[in-house]
Amino acid sequence: MELQQDPTLLWFIAIYGIIMIGIGVFMSKKVAGSEDFVLAGKSLGPFVLMGTLLATWTGSGSISGGETSMAFSYGILPSLMMMLPTLVGIIILYVVAPKIREQGKFTVAGILEAKYGRTSRNIASVIIILAYVGIVSYQMKGFGFILNLTTGMTVQAGTMIGAAMIIFLAMIGGLRSVSQTDAISGFLMVGGLIITVPTIIMVAGGWSEIVANVPESHMSATGGLTTIQMIGYLLPSLFLLLGDQNMYQRLASSKGNKSAKRAQMGWLIAMIVISPSISLIAFASRSLFPDIDPGMALMATTVAMPIAIGGILLAAAASFIITTGNSYLLSAATNLTYDLYGKYVNKEASDKKLLTMTRIFIVALGIFAFVIITYFPTVLSVQMYAYTVYGAGLTPAILAVFFWKRVNAIGGVSSMIAGVVATLTWEVILQKPFEVNSVVVAVPVAVIVLIVATLMTTEKGSVYQAETQTS
C-alpha cells in the first residue's frame, strides 16, 4: 500500500491541542506557589494520578521507538517483550512508593543527598538534566513525524511546533496543569488504541495476510537479534523506570499511600492494554508499508483507516508525545532550580523567585532539547542512550537507599560515576561494539562498584557521609 498524506487528520490534532492548552491555562490560575507548581500541592487522587503516571511513561519512546520500532524492525515477539520491563518496574515501585512519600523531597537528587551527601546530589542533578533533555528531544521529533505524515510539513518544522507546545504546557502551570492534561490524554490513549487494533488488522487483510507479508525472521522469538542484544533493548526502560524522578514526584504528589496504590494498579492494567496494542499496530504497519522509517510505523496506519478512527489514533499519538515531553521538561527544570540554583546561586531565593526560575529553566532546557535531537539519527538511538545514562548512573544508587541500609556514601557516589563512565565509554569511545546497547555493560558495572565500594569502605564511608551532610 502506498503511504499518502491526509491533511484532514490535522483537525484531530488541532482539537486536541486546543483542549490541552485551554486546560493548562485554566489550571495555571490555581498555582499558589512552588510546591503547587512542582508537586500539585500533594493533592492528586487515584484517577488523576493513574492518568499522569500512564501518560508520562508512555510517550514517543513507545510510538516512535520502543515497541513501534521493535515490531517493525524485528517482529511481534521482540516488541511484546518490551512490555515486561515496565510491568516489573511498576510492581517494584508499588513496594517503594510509601518510602518515596516519606522522603518528602522535590527531586531524586534530594533523596540521594540525604543518604550519600552533597556530592551525590550534584552528580545526580547533572545526570538527570542530560538524560531528561534527551528524552524531551525525541518527543519533539515524534511530533514532527506526526505533522509530516498528515500535512507533508517537514519533520524539522513539525518538530519546532511540537517543541513550542511541550514548552508552553510545562511552563504555564507545572504539575498542577500537567497532571490534568496527562489524565485526559492517558484515557484517550487507551480508547484510541483499543479501537485501532481490530480495525488495522482488518484493513491489512487479517492476521494471516500480515504474517505472509513480513520477513520470516519477524515471527521468531528475537527477530534475528542475539540474546545479549535483546537484553540490551529490555534493560534500559526497566532501570529508567525504577529510578525515574517523574514517577517519584508523582507518587509524592498523591493525597496518600492509598491513592498511590490504587493509581499504580490502574497504571499496571492500562499498560497491559497499551503496550501490546502498539506492538500489534506497528506489526500490521510493517505488512502495509514495508519501506517507511520504523519510527513512523504506528502513525502511518492512520492514513489507511477510516478518517474518524485514524484521527482518534493520531490524537492519541499526539497525546503520548506532548504529555511525556512536558513532564520530563518540568522535572529537569526542577533539578536546575532546587538542586543547583537554590543550593549555589541564590540560597535565600523566595518561593516566588524559585517559581519564576523554574519557568525560565523550562524554556531554556526546551530549546536545548530541540537543538540536540538533530545529532541522533533515530528516536530509538537517543532513547536507548538517555535511558542508560540515567538507569546506570542513578538507579542502583537510588534503589540501594530503600533496600540496603548498609550502603554508604562512597559506594553510592562511586556507583553513579561508574555507571555514567561505562555508558559513555561504550557508546562514544568504543562506538557500541557488536551493536549491543551499553546497558548490558554499564548497569552491572554500576551495581558491582556500589557493592564492592560499600563493603570495602564501610567505616570510611560512615565518616565521609557524616562530613558531607554537615558541610
β-sheet bridge partners, residue 254? 44
Nearest partner of 383 among 282, 237, 243, judged by Cα:
237
| pLDDT tens digits for range 210-252 | 999 999 889 998 888 888 989 888 888 888 888 888 888 888 8
Position 153 in a domain: yes
Closest CA to 41 of 207, 167, 176, 158: 176
Question: Does residue 466 belong to any structural domain of this protein?
Answer: no
Helices 439-456 and 379-393, packing angle to 10 deg: 10
Type of residue numbered 134 = G
Q: What is the pLDDT of residues 62-86, one digit of tens each?
A: 777 789 989 999 999 999 999 999 9
- Say yes or no to pLDDT of 471 above 80: no
Residue 401 within any structural domain of the chain: no
Residue 366 inside a domain? The answer is yes
Does 48 map to a domain? yes
DSSP string, 309-357: HHHHHHHHHHHHHHHHHHHHHHHHHHHIIIIIIIIII-TT--HHHHHHH
Using only C-alpha atoms, the chain has a radius of gyration, in whole angstroms, of 21
Residue 420 resides in a domain: no
Residue 435 maps to a domain = no
Residue 12 has pLDDT above 80, yes or no: yes
Q: Where residue 46 sits, what CATH number does that domain have? A: 1.20.1730.10
**Residue 254 within a domain:** yes
Domain count, the chain: 1
Q: Give the position of cell 497499551.
A: 274
The residue segments making up the domain with residue 337 are: 8-380
State the pLDDT at residue 387.
Answer: 74
Statement: residue 461 has pLDDT above 50: no
pLDDT recorded at residue 377: 53
pLDDT band at 272 (very low <50, low <70, confident <90, very high): very high
The average pLDDT across 403-417 equals 94
C-alpha 184/C-alpha 226 separation (Å) is 39
Collapsed DSSP state (helix, strand, coil) of residue 211: helix
pTM: 0.81
Q: What is the pLDDT of residue 381?
A: 58
